[in-house]
């Protein structure tokens, strides 16, 4: 493994660090009575309001249609994700130290798999959240579900929901890009035989 590849993998590990300090996703809800909107940030380990009381206020609105409360304590993915990200950081570092390209490729594969699983989990969470409604809800609209969009904009009764990746996802993306690029380059050069290690 080239020295630059090792450094690239270390860089990829470091790029994952900011994901602990900035949300990875943002969902905003606007309604006639909420022109400034209510919103939540999804972190790798938490869900918080755009403003201090937004989660409480979203839950109050949601209970009328029978949606479950958003309680970060009950979302198990939030317990696992910091370890997954930490694991990916560790594996990137180990690959760099060991200097094994096949390890780096495992890292790439695991990263993509974790990302895909994360998105699927997020979608499932949103699906459950929007479809598993209390049958005794005060407001029941036939055939209506309240799944927020995974990405983009969607109108749900009087509420317009928009969902976008946030800074954390950018850092995670850059990490994957950096790690994959140096690994692929190294493999390519090795195949061409221009390796001058």
Partner 1 sequence: MAQKTTIWKITSLLLGLGLLAMIMYGCPSQTGMLDTGDAAQRVYVAPGEYDEYYAFLSGGYSGQLSVWGLPSARMFRNIPVFSQDPESGYGYSEETKPLLMTSYGFIPWDDSHHPDFSHTDGMPDGRWIFINGNNTPRVARIDLTTFETVEILELPNTGGNHASTFVTENTEYIIGATRFSIPYEKDKDVPIDSYKENFDGSLSFIAVDPESGEMSMDFQIIMPPYHYDLGRAGKGKSADWVFFTTYNTEQAHTLLEIYASEFDKDYVVAVNWKKARDYVREGRARTVPANYYHNLKDKNTSIAVSTVHDEVLLLDPEDAPDMIYFLPTPKSPHGVDIDPTGEYIVAGGKLATVIPVHSFSRMLEAIENEAFEEVINGIPVLEYEATIIGEVENPGLGPLHTEFDGDGNAYTSVYISSEIVKWSLETFEVLDRIDSYYSIGHLMITGGDTPNPDRKYMIGLTKTSRDRFLPTGPKQLHPAQLYDISGDRMELLLDFPTIGEPHYAQAIRADKIRDNVKQIYDLDENQHPHAVKRPRDARVVRDGDIVRVYMTNIRSHFTPDNIEGIRVGDEVHFHLTNIEQDWDMVHGFAIKGAHSGEVLIAPGETKTTVWRPQRPGIYPFYCTAFCSALHQEMQGYVRVSPAGSDVPLTWRTGEE
Asked whether 181 and 163 are in contact (CB, 8 A), the reply is no
Nearer to partner 1 among residue 53 and residue 131 (C-beta): 53
Interface with partner 1 by CB under 8 A: which range of 3-11, 15-23, 48-56, 144-152? Answer: 48-56
Nearer to partner 1, 16 or 58 (CB): 58
Which residue, 49 or 165, is less far from partner 1 as judged by CB? Answer: 49
By the rule CB under 8 A, 52 interacts with partner 1: yes
Residues in region 72-131 near partner 1 by CB under 8 A: none
Residues 60 and 111: their CA atoms lie apart, in Å, by 37
Q: Is 131 exposed, middle or buried (0-12, 13-18, 19+ CB in 10 A)?
A: exposed
Nearer to partner 1, 136 or 197 (CB): 136
Least distance CB 113 / partner 1 (angstroms): 40
CB-side neighbour CA atoms (13 Å) of 72: 16
Token pair 């035989």: residue = 193
Stretch that binds partner 1, among 52-60, 80-88, 175-183, 187-195 (CB under 8 A): 52-60
- Residues 115, 92: Cα–Cα separation, whole Å: 15
Interface positions, 54-83, toward partner 1 (CB under 8 A):
56-57, 60, 64
Which H or E run includes 14?
Answer: helix 3-15
Among 73, 74, 138, 194, binds partner 1 (CB under 8 A): 138
Comparing CA positions, the residue from 105, 115, 114 lying closest to residue 5 is: 105
Residue from 17, 119, 124, 139 touching partner 1 (CB under 8 A): that is 139
Task: Classify residue 194 by its DSSP letter.
Answer: -
- Between CA 54 and CA 117 the distance in angstroms is 28
CB of 53 to partner 1, least distance (A): 4
Chain residues in the site for partner 1 (CB under 8 A)? 52-53, 56-57, 60, 64, 138-139
């Amino acid at each position: 493994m080239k020295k630059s590849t090792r450094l690239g993998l270390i860089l990829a590990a470091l790029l994952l660090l900011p994901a602990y300090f900035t949300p990875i996703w943002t969902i905003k809800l606007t309604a006639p009575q909420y022109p400034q909107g209510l919103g939540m940030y999804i972190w790798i380990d938490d869900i918080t309001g755009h403003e201090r009381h937004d989660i409480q206020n979203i839950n109050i609105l949601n209970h009328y249609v029978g949606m479950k409360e958003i309680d970060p304590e009950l979302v198990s993915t939030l317990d696992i994700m910091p370890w997954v990200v930490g694991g990916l950081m560790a594996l990137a570092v180990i690959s760099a130290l060991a200097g094994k390209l096949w390890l780096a490729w495992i890292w790439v594969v695991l990263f993509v798999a974790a990302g895909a699983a994360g998105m699927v989990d997020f979608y499932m969470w949103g699906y459950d959240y929007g479809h598993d409604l209390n049958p005794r809800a005060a407001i029941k609209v036939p055939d209506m579900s309240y799944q927020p969009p995974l990405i983009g904009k969607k109108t749900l009764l009087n509420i317009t929901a928009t969902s976008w990746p946030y800074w954390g996802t950018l850092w995670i993306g850059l990490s994957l890009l950096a790690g994959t690029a140096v690994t692929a380059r190294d493999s390519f050069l090795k195949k061409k035989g221009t390796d001058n290690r």
